[in-house]
């Protein structure tokens, strides 16, 4: 039986199956590449670019670039991480993110990625967009202030739930998440708390009502172990969605 095809990621050999992307193969091998818009249940989208690596010296989004035998991939380098940090800093200032008061703090992939990349300030001027909070639904709260335009809820509602409850509207700097209903309110859709779309948000946009801070701060997924230290990034996603704490070592403090 022939050996599986491999590429090297930061000097480590990563086996891959035909058709897998670099990020998919890395996740399967327990190798961490920072990412926000990727989810193992959906076709890669390539919108956030946080998973950018160099392949043979050229920049590429690892979530959409197919793995090829013998490729030399670099991810954990000072230059690439500086670019990722700038992208994450821009996501923080484009929306209204205030980690200490957010229900998702400690379970938030944006916050955890910022920690991992050594982000200590937003660096850029805040936009302070005027975005509403939609509390119309009996089971779910929508806080559009935290949206990073990953489109995971859009894809989950369309491809899994079959409801098309969410969409990204407008273009460029004006792009924002909207609800597909006559009034623009979530209450006027057939979305339920059991839908896939209600559980894929990597930040704190879609939140269940009457469950605020059910898991205490300090005991949440990324409080207990940094995102890059998790052996399998997809497991981190699943734990964060389920709100289950990891019984591992304590990480450093929270974003100020």
Summarize pLDDT for 205-244 with one digit per residue, the tens.
999 999 888 899 899 999 999 999 875 544 445 445 544 4
Q: What is the mean pLDDT of residues 142-165?
A: 97
Which of 76, 91, 118 represents a domain boundary (last residue)? 76
Closest CA to 44 of 58, 27, 26, 61: 61
The reported pLDDT for the residue numbered 213 is: 86
Domain boundary among 32, 61, 76: 76
Mark whether 119 and 209 lie in a shared domain.
yes
pLDDT exceeding 90 applies to what percent of the chain? 81
Q: What is the pLDDT of residue 231?
A: 54
Q: Are 249 and 219 in contact (CB under 8 A)?
A: no
Q: What whole-number distance in Å separates Cα of residue 33 and Cα of residue 10?
A: 11
Within 8 A by CB and 6+ apart from 155, the residues are 42, 43, 45
Task: Examine the domain organization and report whether 10 and 65 are in the same domain.
Answer: yes
For residue 174, pLDDT beyond 70:
yes
N residues, the chain: 256
Both 24 and 55 in one domain: the answer is: yes
Per-residue pLDDT at 9: 98
pLDDT reported for residue 45: 85
The H or E element spanning position 115 is: helix 109-116
* Residue 236 belongs to some domain of the structure: yes
Q: What pLDDT sits at residue 232? A: 56
Measured distance CA(191)–CA(10) in Å, rounded: 43
- Check: CB of residue 206 under 8 Å from CB of residue 140: yes
More confidently predicted of 248 and 141: 141
Q: Is residue 25 part of a domain?
A: yes
What tens digit of pLDDT does each residue of 110-140 get?
Answer: 999 999 999 999 999 999 999 989 999 999 9
Q: Are residues 223 and 156 in the same domain?
A: yes
Confidence of residue 3 (pLDDT cuts 50, 70, 90): confident
Indicate whether 255 belongs to any domain: no
Task: Give the chain's mean pLDDT.
Answer: 90
Is residue 236 domain-shared with residue 125, that is, in the same domain?
yes
> Are 69 and 184 part of one and the same domain?
no
Asked whether the predicted pLDDT for residue 99 surpasses 80, the reply is yes
SS3 37: coil
Q: Are residues 182 and 121 in the same domain?
A: yes
Give the per-residue pLDDT at 233.
45
Query: Beta strands of 70-145 (E only): which ranges?
Result: 72-74, 133-134, 140-143
Residue 130 shares a structural domain with residue 236: yes
**Statement to judge: residues 72 and 103 lie in one domain:** no
pLDDT of 253 higher than 80: no
Residues 228 and 168 both lie in one domain: yes
Q: How many domains does the chain have?
A: 2
* Domain region containing 113: 99-242
Residues 17, 64, single domain; the answer is: yes
Domain contains 82: no
198 and 103 in one domain?
yes
């Amino acid at each position: 039986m022939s050996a599986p095809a491999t590429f090297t990621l930061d000097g480590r050999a990563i086996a891959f199956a035909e058709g897998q992307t670099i990020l998919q193969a890395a996740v399967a091998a327990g190798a961490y590449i920072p990412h926000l818009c990727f989810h193992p249940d959906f076709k890669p989208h390539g919108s956030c670019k946080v998973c950018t690596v160099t392949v043979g010296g050229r920049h590429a989004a690892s979530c959409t670039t197919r793995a090829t035998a013998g490729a030399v991939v670099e991810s954990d380098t000072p230059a690439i991480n500086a670019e990722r940090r700038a992208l994450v800093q821009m996501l923080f200032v484009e929306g209204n993110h205030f980690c200490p008061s957010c229900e998702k703090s400690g379970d938030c992939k944006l916050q955890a990625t910022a920690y991992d990349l050594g982000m200590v300030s937003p660096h850029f001027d805040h936009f302070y967009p005027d975005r509403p909070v939609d509390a119309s639904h009996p089971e779910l709260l929508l806080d559009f202030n935290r949206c990073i335009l990953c489109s995971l809820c859009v894809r989950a509602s369309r491809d899994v739930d079959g409801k098309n409850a969410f969409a990204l509207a407008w273009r460029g700097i004006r792009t924002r998440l909207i609800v597909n209903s006559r009034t623009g309110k979530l209450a006027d859709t057939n979305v339920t708390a059991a839908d896939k779309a209600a559980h894929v948000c990597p930040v704190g946009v879609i939140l269940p009502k009457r469950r605020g801070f059910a898991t205490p701060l300090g005991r949440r997924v990324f409080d207990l172990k940094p995102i890059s230290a998790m052996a399998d990034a997809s497991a981190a996603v699943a734990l964060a969605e389920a709100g289950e704490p990891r019984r591992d070592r304590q990480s450093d403090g929270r974003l100020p």
